[in-house]
Copies of this chain bind each other. A is one copy, B any other.
């Protein structure tokens, strides 16, 4: 049988109340007894029973992390950050993968809600109304999405702007955007920034190619549309789409970046494995996980809602590599003829 607080109390010659206090509120007990208790604790190898503690305090020392897909390194990085900070603060983390399925997301959140102190929802796919219900169940922090006044961590929305400035500086005047899933908050966000830039810079022609699955295949689809659009640069919703673009363009005999420039988002590891290396927006994903965890824990520990001191917005970085270059002189140099 495991060693309980009783064993420690008996061994140390004090009451169980004293042992409990010595461990959880050390200042309420005399130094001498505290030290005596502590030495017995280590000698016997006593570990408080989390269930018994949780039963009475109502706290579990656990947080839940809800993510769309563990297999996606993007979310793996976020999870790693969350996990790292939670462990440092003495919390354990339950993980809930919902396989990109909003209904599973609901189920998982509801089943976890009762057994954790708080939840981090990363890139939630639920509708606003469902999200409202879910976030009312238990203290929640959102990552990659803003909703009402639920605390959240998002990436700086300046990424798209930087990309477009980079491309116009290279002389591109016709730029296409290969978007991600309609229901993605990030996609909508980027699309807006894309449009806004167009309104502010009338000289640049901006073309939305539509929505594509956020994977390699989506990029392959988008490539032919991009080519037909006459754009000399294509911004992809994420690196995977950009990779698909790259591959299909090569297949069609279009050279990157000489004829078309390509930019991705995320800076996944593989963007340096391909040729040309991908110019992309680096999002500090692990750091997002860390901050989400910090924010949640500060909310849990503080009784008042004074946790606004933590910055909610993370800066992103443009990483220029080989896939972007000067705009070609002839705007439609993509065909079979080499001279105009």
Contacts and interface: CB of A to CB of B under 8 A. Distances in A.
Contacts of A83: 70, 95-97
A27 interface: no
A307 B83 CA distance: 32
Contacts of A108: 87
Interface in A38-52: 47, 49-52
A183 interface: no
Interface stretch (A152-160, A163-171, A259-267, A269-277): A269-277
A2 B49 CA distance: 22
B274 A114 contact: no
Interface in A79-102: 79-80, 83-84, 87, 92-97, 99
B92 A92 contact: no
A108 B99 CA distance: 26
A120 to B, nearest CB: 13
A83 B96 CA distance: 7
A50 B52 CA distance: 10
Given A92-B112, A273-B270, A71 B77 contact: yes
Interface residues of A, number: 47
How many monomers of this chain does the complex have? 2
A156 to B, nearest CB: 22
A62 B112 CA distance: 12
A252 interface: no
Interface in A93-127: 93-97, 99, 108, 112, 114-115
Given A51-B60, A71-B286, A247 B275 contact: yes
Interface in A48-73: 49-52, 54-55, 60, 62, 65, 69-73
Nearest to A65: B95
A198 interface: no
A39 to B, nearest CB: 19
Contact of A72 (B65, B73, B94): B73
A216 interface: yes
Nearest to A285: B71
A230 interface: no
Nearest to A53: B51
B94 A94 contact: yes
Given A71-B286, A80-B99, 9 more contacts: A49-B55, A50-B51, A50-B114, A70-B77, A71-B80, A75-B76, A93-B94, A243-B273, A247-B275
28 contacts: A50-B114, A51-B54, A52-B55, A55-B55, A69-B80, A70-B70, A70-B76, A70-B79, A70-B80, A71-B73, A71-B76, A71-B80, A73-B76, A79-B95, A80-B97, A80-B99, A83-B96, A84-B97, A93-B95, A94-B94, A95-B95, A216-B272, A216-B273, A247-B273, A250-B275, A270-B270, A270-B273, A273-B273
